[in-house]
Structure 1
Amino acid sequence: MQTLDCLFYDMFLDWGVSESTATYLNMLTLLVISLVAVFLIDALIRRVLRQVSANIANRTKSSFDDILIANKLPRNVAHIIPVLLFSQLIPIIFRDFERASTIMKTTLTIFGIMLTLWIVRSILNSIKDYLKQSDNFRDKPIDSYIQVFMIFAWLIGVFAALAIITGLSFIKFAGTLGAASAIIILIFKDTILGFVASIQVSINDMVRIGDWITFEKYGADGDVIEINLATVKVQNWDMTITTIPTYALISDSFKNWRGMKASGGRRIKRSVIIKASTIRFLQPEDLSKFKKIQLVSNYISNKEAEINSHNSSQNIDKSVLINGRNLTNFGVFRKYLNTYIENHSAINKDMTMMVRQLEPTPQGIPMEIYAFSKDQRWENYEHIMGEIFDHVLAAVPYFDLEVFELYPVMSMAKT
């Protein structure tokens, strides 16, 4: 080692250089040669490790090793040997420069800490990507847990580096930061809130990746594509991205449509407003006309027989139409819509189906259809709902009814 230390030193003296200059030139020459050698060795090891890793990955069925390569684990591991080698060369290169040797050792130690963090990050990212391929973990906020761990790892790494620079032990250096804990908490307030929120979101199963959520406060309406420590990313239906603070999921109210997707149906809840002035009792000639409508033909016949029997048994005077029991065009229309929904192929028959009359409004009487479509996809859902209400609006005049604010339409009796 002594011969190597003085190899270039003696050569520079033979060239007539002063001892002081020869010392510096010897150090610089050894440093350049060492750096070139270390970089060449690093490149060689990286190439060998990459080739070996690729061969192993191609022979195994598991995708985990491919993910490790994608996250640059072999590349980061390859730096370990060159770093260790260079650390052994420092005393030789800086034999006559004790302060420079100390600075270089400190720098190399700090780089070693960073390299360790890079390796840990590669492993954790690989675990995250691998777990996301599994159906059991695909919708879990794994990013949040990885980020929390990495934050603590980086804090420990930074503290360790600062402790090395200041010459204090890690424990003593961490102790001196106790007084500054309030400032640290203030700086990392959002991170702490996000960490707590991500845990609560996960434990309570409030949101999963892939859930459709509506968050009016932040203008979000779409699928959750990412949940991390600080934010939740939602891809809206117009393909824009809305970023929501993670802690907002537990501090504010939002709507999660997962229950709708799991139910097997998507709710249709819409009404048409019928003019109150067009609602009337039905006379015998009206019943004959409405019996031609197949969906209510049997209903009218059965109801007519029931009502006539009741009125006869009660000796009702039917010379005045309001006396006794009567059918109305509005009631028959309601029955028609109910039967139409029950027979519609796109409606989920295992879920609630009804047509109901709502409270009167100044515009008229709302007739609401409440049912669930089988197809939950937005485009198909809108098509189904549009098809139903196209039919509803076209059917209104056949019952001598009118929809509010529509132009008067000739009834079936006038055609």
Structure 2
Amino acid sequence: MKELLGVQLKNWLINEGIAVYWAIILQSLIAIVIVVFIALICDFIAKRVLISIITKLVRKTKTSWDDILLERKVFNKIAHFAPAAIIYYSAGMLDHPGLSNFIQNSAHVYMVVLAIILIDTFLNAGNDIYNTLPGSKTRPIKGYLQIVKIFFYSMGIISITALLFDQNPFNIVAGMGAFAAVILLIFKDTILGFVASIQLSANKMVNIGDWISMPAKGADGTVIDISLNTVKVQNWDKTISTIPTYALVSESFNNWKGMEESGGRRIKRHLNIDVKSIHFLNEEEIAKFEKIRLLKDYLVEKKNEIRASHPEGEIPVNQRRLTNVGTFRKYVEAYLQEHPKIHNEMTFLVRQLQVSEKGLPLEIYVFSNDQEWANYEAIQADIFDHILAIVPEFGLRVFQNPTGDDFHKLVN
């Protein structure tokens, strides 16, 4: 039909006395103007009228998935096909085979590019819709969608190449077998990332929102994105670390999700007691410590226990005796048990470690019930501020290497 209209227009121009050569050129120009005009009208109707109607309908619905499609401009991408289709199917009106084929091929290539962009946008919208579901936090699909994108991009490139060189797409695919090794080299990270994405998802190793630390990659913060090739981590200083996805499978990292779900955050820190300050308590010191509320019950119980197990008059070396370091350890235990920020239902230890050249390590191994980083650090600081300040009350000294000030005092 469109070829017939072109011929009729050319014949009418010839009958009007215009030379055949100029009639063909004039007929082509008129056809181009008409096609462009019709294409502009279709573009206006599609973008201005239909999109406006769709937008109003979408805003009235209660579902959210159509709003995401609208925000991603999926409908706008579809509207671009209208003028392209008009140009493609109207190219036959030109009585110039070379120009007609060029316009058709150009329109065809344009529609292939539009199709690729539309698929890409639709997949992005699909990912956004999926992220609104409860299970999206533990089962991200962004990596899989990127594989689908790569497939369609590859098909699009093959189709465009076939159109430009007037070849069968299957012949191009068959000819690419010779470049398989090169393709594998180019897409090495993509292939590794795809396999790693499956492993991460299947084994639930890491999800968006998890706090992970990977010192080898300079990452310590919250996972904000998991894609086919990279995992983005927002560090606590608000910088972004990008880690190859396959590195999370091939290398070690810490996922602190278990800690966050437990309701507590571990405090593991020790101070070194100078062994030269450790001694048995005398009656005067015991009487002094009995006035401390946190130690009163403990000391009364220990005194009764010692009296019951040893007869009067037995020499001290044969008796069990209280020490200042043991009493100090029980004080720290009682202090932490009463601390409102310590989780008493989780591991709770105040223990001695192996004596070393730096003294006797007294380790505190407990959990705070506040996991917020700043609050957690403040709790640790408050606890050790108090412990370090109370040490001298038990006749103990905290070990530290001598400084220049110590030598200065010794000389003077």
TM-score, normalization by structure 2: 0.91
Aligned residues: 400
- 1:349 counterpart SS class: coil
> Which residue in the other structure is 2:409 paired with?
none
In 1, Cα distance between equivalents of 2:401 and 2:242: 43
- Once the two structures are TM-superposed, the CA of residue 135 in structure 1 deviates from its matched residue by 2.4
Match of 1:77 in 2: 78
- 1:404 paired residue among 394, 399, 412: 399
DSSP-derived class of the 2:269 partner: strand
- 2-structure distance, mates of 1:32, 1:119: 28
Aligned equivalent of 2:405: none
| Structure 1 residue identity aligned to 2:213 | T
- Of 26-35 and 46-55, deviating more is 26-35
Describe how 1:87-126 pairs up with structure 2 within 5 A. Answer: 87-92=88-93, 94-95=94-95, 97-126=96-125
Q: Which runs of 5+ in 2 are unaligned?
A: 403-412
Aligned counterparts of 2:182 and 2:167: Cα–Cα separation in 1: 22
Deviation digits for residues 145-192 of structure 1, max 9, x if unmatched? Answer: 111110111111211222233333222221111111111111111111
Alignment match, 1:58:
59
The aligned counterpart of 2:406 is none
- Name the CA distance, whole Å, in 2 between partners of 1:19 and 1:27: 12
Whether the 8 Å contact between 1:13 and 1:22 is mirrored in structure 2 is no
Residue in structure 2 matched with residue 275 of structure 1 by the alignment = 274
Give the structure 2 partner of residue 413 of structure 1.
none
Query: 1:266 and 1:3 mapped to 2: Cα distance?
Result: 80
For structure 1, the residue ranges without an aligned partner over 5 or more in a row are 408-415
How far did residue 10 of structure 1 move?
5.5
- How far is 1:220 from its partner? 0.5
- Deviation, structure 1 residue 296: 1.1
1:26 aligns with: 27
SS at match of 1:77: helix
Deviation at 1:6, TM superposition (A): 5.4
Q: CA deviation at 1:84?
A: 2.3
Quick one: structure 1 residues 12 and 244, their matched pair in 2 at CA, closer, same or farther if it must change by over 3 Å?
farther
Give TM-score scaled by structure 1 length: 0.91
Change over 3 Å in CA distance of 1:73–1:226 after alignment to 2 = same
Aligned partner letter, 1:185: L
Pair 1:316-2:314 in alignment: yes
State percent identity of aligned pairs. 41
CA distance in 1 between partners of 2:370 and 2:295 (Å) = 27
Residue range with higher mean Cα deviation, 327-336 or 131-140: 131-140
Find the aligned partners of 1:229 and 1:255 in 2 and give their Cα distance: 21
Moved more, 49-58 or 242-251: 49-58
How far off its partner does 1:13 sit?
9.0
- Partners of 1:106 and 1:328 in 2: CA distance: 95
Output the aligned Cα RMSD. 2.1
Q: In the alignment, is residue 153 of structure 1 matched against residue 148 of structure 2?
A: no
Indicate if the aligned counterparts of 2:6 and 2:27 stay in contact, CA closer than 8 A: no
Q: Which residue of 2 aligns with 1:410?
A: none
Contact 2:35 2:86 (8 Å CA) reproduced: no
Q: 1:8 to 1:383 in 2, by over 3 A?
A: farther
CA contact (8 A) 2:38 2:86 kept: no
Deviation per residue, 1:221-274 (Å, 9 max, x gap) = 100100101111110000011111111101111111111111110000011111
Equivalent position of 1:255 in the other structure: 254
Structure 2 Cα separation of the partners of residues 174 and 316 of structure 1? 99
SS of corresponding position for 1:376 = coil
- Give 1:266's aligned residue: 265
Paired amino acid for 1:159 = I
